[in-house]
Chain A
Amino acid sequence: MKAKDTLLYLDGVSVSFDGFRAINNLSLVLQAGEMRAVIGPNGAGKTTMMDIITGKTRPDTGDVYFKGEIDLTRHDEAEIALLGIGRKFQKPTVFESHTVEDNLMLALAGPRSAFSALFHRQSADEAERIDDILHTIRLHTKRDWLAANLSHGQKQWLEIGMLLAQDPKLLLVDEPVAGMTDAETAETAKLLREIAKTRSVLVVEHDMHFVRELDVKVTCLHEGSVLAEGSLDYVSNDQRVIEVYLGR
């Protein structure tokens, strides 16, 4: 079985919505510890791919394996999250009426059952973890702020922080720098590289500067399947990729 020894393994995955093929025979392999950037024009199927990995969308055909043996198509979002796959949305999605600290507290790995939540008391250990993450995402001064009052970039970071709190094996990050200033973008790239030291990361991004800064292997998607794969320079010199991006 080819999926063995990989962290994430997609093979021959297809899904269509009302006749529209969003993903078409897509295959993609991610090794443990690898960071990968996925690029592609609008409608290439990037977000749908993430939906499939995280269990939000069921593929019509194809295999999706995690850690070589877990069939992700048989699990729902919550189970997949607990298996160790974290996801950041395209639009920053944090709990706006909670404080920054509570946002992280909710994300912190730990028991997820309703009864344990009802009688949960925060331990010193957890407080320490939250402090660490707050520093990592540079929000330690804003721990009592309502998340709603953060700037757009800060929300993106908070969301990344929540992923970290989840302690996943694999992070799926959808357009983390959309709407960020240049300085913030650079900071984010730094942050992601730091994270990638300990876990695998799949980044979907439009911003080529950012992808360049990440300096990782790039996969280009088009119309639901892989168009090219390799280093950024290799991919950006591919004739078909240029065609797709410039339009025809």
Chain B
Amino acid sequence: MRIGVYLCQAGIGDPDAVDLHSIAGYAANLPGVEVVKDLGKLPRIDPKVLADEIKSSKIERIVIAGDSPGFFKPGFTRALALAGGDPTEVKLASFREYGASTGAGTDRAKSVLACATLGVPFPLAAVPDTTAVHPDTLVVGGGVAGIQAALEIGDAGKKVYLVERTGTIGGHMAQFDKTFPTLDCAACILTPKMVAVGQHEMIDLMTYCEVDDVSGSPGSYKVKIRKKARRVDEDACVACHDCAAVCPVRVPSEFDNGIVERKAVYMPFPQAVPNVYVVDGDSCTYVQSDGKKCGVCAKKCPKECIDLDQTDEIVEIEVGNIILAVGYEVYDAHKIERYGYGALPNVLTALEFERLTNASGPTGGKIVCKTKRFNKRKKADEWVFDADEGESPKSIAIVHCVGSRDANHNPYCSRVCCMYSLKFAHLVTEKLPDADCYEFYIDMRAFGKGYEEFADRIKAEGTFVIRGRTAKVHEADGRLVIRGEEIVEEELVEFPVDMVLLSVGLVPTADSARLAAMLGLATDGDGWFSELDYNAAPTETERGGIYVAGLCQGPKDIPDTVAQASAVAAGVLKSIAIGRGLDSRADLSLSDIEARAASLTRA
């Protein structure tokens, strides 16, 4: 069979990941390869010209090699058809798809190319050997994804370590009020799962812990976990609140996104699992003064379960599989000055509003504007939410795509903002029937089951949806003024509102980068974990026995996250069931893959 190899780059991912020159050289020596051409980046291919070329050099199979060769396939297919060849003989050697974007890129690219020339799908040839798998599993991250994955595996009667960075599991979902599109409260879905995890005999819940180091190989990873000093005895604490009552320190509460303050010894939120207090060493007077000052909480604790001198300790565990579910952070709205976040008190981020409108939030779910008051301790004015004094907004503007779909910030779409913004609009119209609600959007991305219907309903409820991006928010005689273009009506809109909600996009956590480096995992340009195969293996990675689930792989809504988290469990349980799991694809050598591919063609 006479084969023509064409190198075409679509310009996706890191251009220096592979050495095209050496690849071209390699291709030339592959059996059957007659023509090797490097057409460079985004070549404009004229099928007619190409067809003649194919005819003249009697090529029967074409292999397009590049970061995303599919972009050029139709042209080649047509050319081959014009030349009277079999159009199914156009094969793709997709470097990006099969992980030639990182590490030993060039060798991987060569192996992908080799498979393509032989007409063997790469994943069929690049199958690592199996190794014995340790039955225990480590789940990193205690959000809904981590919880779901842990439960799936735990319920199967397998041992799971669930490691969570903060003092409680629950993650972002625990902060939400309602969930779209059914509007049932997030707590009602999540808290039972949290309780189940807390009580599960197969799940070893390790909150306030971090993964320090991972060594070993697929099937048996040795993991060093840092138990950060909680300074409260988990088993003894009865969550009586006496310690927090006397603690003099006040810092912004992470759980409430800083719209209220917590003490240095605190319970993240009343329904926390484990339902145990934690001392925040960074703000605790005693810890900061090396035991010279304060320490009153320890004295006050009726069960004497506070040990302020406790230090971090490292525990080592061995596991067969590791599931990464470290989730996301929201985009820092400060980076977009024109929306005045931080400078204007009543410009809120989505998560702040989630807490504000949440029944268990600081205002008991009452939507009010911030009120100015003098802080005696800080000796300064500050803006706070006050359920009684704060007046409820007459008009609220919701700004979509804050930091998303923007070349100057995040180029990608954060997938959930449209829907949660619509949800906000509903909550506003429900709680403040005579308040006006304006949504500034670019595309209303309501794509899931029941989403479109939800969007229609919100419009029917009287929310003004404005197709157009908000340009700026500024203050004029004490009110926020929002400016944008209403594109469908073709008019510039600029009017005052009482509150502006920024639908901030999602970004990978700082931890993602650290873990990726530690485990040698690839991340995409935006910092999300790269899956092994976009379509066929959305939860596996190049490393055997290491999986990604939920947001850390890319923005997702709750149903998709839950489905993915369960999906991860399938891979894990499978390997435990047969006691063997796949090795890392990353470790496969070029010759291994060549050999297997060749054997497949013979068979």
Q: Do A and B bind each other?
A: no
A contact residues vs B (CB 8 Å cutoff): none
